[in-house]
Amino acid sequence: MIKRPMDTGLKTKMSPSLGLLTIANMFQDKHTIIYENENIKDIDFNEKVDIVGISITVDVFFRAVEIAKKYREKNIPVVAGGIHITANPDESEEYFDALSIGLAELTWYDIISDFEKGQLKKRYYHNTSNITPNSIISPAYNLINKSEYLYYNIISTSRGCPYKCNFCYNSTDAYKNLYISRSVQDVIKDIKAINNRHIMFIDDNLIGNPVWTFELLEAITPLNLKWNAAVSSNVVNIPNMLDKMKSAGCQSLFIGFESINTSSIEDAEKVQNNVERYNYIVSEIHKRGIMINASFVFGLDGDNKDTFKNTLKWIVDNKIETVTSHILTPYPGTELFKKLKSSGRIIDDDYAKYNTANVVFMPKNMSPDELKQGYLKIYKDIYSFKNIIKRMPKSKNQWIPYLLFNIFYRKFGKFTDFICSLIGYKNIGRLAALMSYKTK
Ligand code: B12
Ligand code: SF4
């Protein structure tokens, strides 16, 4: 993983790859699986293996090519999969023996079967026409070395998103028509396998299918969990949803507000966001004692230099507990990428910079440097001591998780990273969860 200026080692050791653990679970009863993560330790290229699978996001594409080269020099076939390969397969073919385009659940069995027959094909596309909730496979949680990660208590309850914002991987060909929620019983099995009362649902949108969400909330309420999830901002339009979430143990919600400019929201084709209702959304969520992690993206066509100070003011005025900011990044294969490419606005094709901390396209109403500096400054300003104090939640119960995240993760991440290296990431993660949510 390529770190951004504000990232510390904590970011790289945050959680294991559910994509790789999913393919691991598909064959762990038949074959020996070795799960490697070079953010944690160097890859052992001398290990005797028959076939290698790599999970690839855009920022690590070139590193994945280097890794593949080393195995292929030893005649070990390499299969590439994951979001970037799925979104943008055409540029990748020459570097790998096979490409998995889409969900491993719908490609990996064929890949291994063809490999065993010596007939590995170049491309495997997922065919989602017959997909059912039970098609989705649980990750092999048993393979996680918990001491290496800050968190391992992550669950993906779905694939895809019902919305298709133009900057998101969900607007790419392979995901355009895909949104599926898993069976609630399978999700409960994952919760049991994780065996922790604090759970993070890492789906794109936990309320993509509200009927299903109510079913899930009903099923987890008796488990007495504390949990976090990402939802779209129209969560407040669904009667009872927030009440039900609260009573099922919801602690905080990640919401893609993206911009406080209506024209930027239109530019992103984010139809579910209504800027006029942002204050109301925040007050309804806060009223129920749920914290907000607001996500913003800067550089949309409606943004200019003033966007940064206006957004900062909105964040502080609304006492948003935590904020994740990004520079708009046209991931290859997305509708945004196609639009910027066709109008000659892509100015950097080094994918290692496509990690939302670099300007790789020509913004409309700012220079690339103004966008970059504005983004760096707003991050600093949001997490200045003055603004951390101003944003303090009203409820005392939330002070510990709030301060832990704002100060020990965002502000003094390097120090926290150092402490973690002394006493173990898992221990710090557990301690933080214990202090924040009184879980084990
Ligand atoms: C959790 C998460 C993180 C976590 C943990 C990452 C980790 N250790 O895996 C953290 C916070 C650390 C993180 C960091 C970043 N992330 Co992130 N993250 C996610 C998130 C929300 C969920 C990923 C997940 O676990 N999904 C569930 C698993 C089961 O799905 P999956 O990985 O896609 O795997 C399936 C298929 O892709 C396929 N598959 C995957 N790998 C393989 C391999 C083989 C061999 C095969 C056959 C199939 C296969 O089968 C799997 C099962 O169905 C996704 C959004 C999303 N919904 O996917 C973004 C996402 C992957 N992240 C993204 C980005 C950009 C980043 C960062 C660069 C952000 C940043 N600003 O720093 C960094 C660095 C990424 C990196 N190099 O690891 C983008 C990637 C865009 C792209 N086109 O590549 C995404 C899609 C978010 C978005 N909407 O844009 N991330
Ligand atoms: S709502 Fe979020 S996950 Fe869904 S398409 Fe838009 S940006 Fe992507």
pLDDT per residue as tens digits for the range 264-305: 999 999 999 999 999 999 999 999 999 999 999 999 999 999
- Tally of CB atoms within 10 A around 25: 19
Q: Is the dihedral of CA 265, 266, 269, 274 positive or negative?
A: positive
pLDDT (0 to 100) of residue 151: 87
SS3 315: helix
Nearest CA owner, ligand 1 atom 18: 202
Ligand 1 atom index nearest CA of 139: 29
Closest CA to 180 of 203, 154, 153: 203
Whose tokens are 């991440």? That residue is 413
- Distance, CA 160 to ligand 2 centroid (Å)? 8
Closest CA to 229 of 204, 260, 210, 197: 204
**Residue 161, ligand 2, Cβ within 6 A:** yes
- Distance, CA 392 to ligand 1 centroid (Å)? 31
Q: 381 burial class (0-12, 13-18, 19+ CB within 10 angstroms)?
A: middle
Q: Which CATH superfamily is domain 144-437 in?
A: tm_1862 like domain (3.80.30.20)
Nearest CA owner, ligand 1 atom 19: 202
Q: 395 burial class (0-12, 13-18, 19+ CB within 10 angstroms)?
A: exposed
Domain 17-130 class in CATH:
alpha beta
Mutate to test the pocket of ligand 2, among 161, 166, 175, 234 (most ligand atoms within 8 A of CB): 161
pLDDT (0 to 100) of residue 8: 67
- Distance, CA 157 to ligand 2 centroid (Å)? 15
CA dist 196 → 7, 142, 186, 191, 437 (Å): 27, 14, 16, 7, 11
Averaged pLDDT, groups of 10, the chain, 440 residues long: 68 87 95 93 94 97 97 97 97 96 98 97 95 96 90 96 96 95 97 95 97 98 97 95 98 97 96 96 96 97 97 97 96 98 98 97 98 95 92 87 78 67 69 66
Entry pTM? 0.93
pLDDT (0 to 100) of residue 195: 92
- Distance, CA 83 to ligand 1 centroid (Å)? 6
**Residue 111, ligand 2, Cβ within 6 A:** no
Nearest CA owner, ligand 1 atom 56: 204
Strands (E), 2-57: 52-55
- The interaxial angle of helices 18-27 and 108-116, nearest 10 deg, is 50
* Domain positions in the chain: 17-130, 144-437
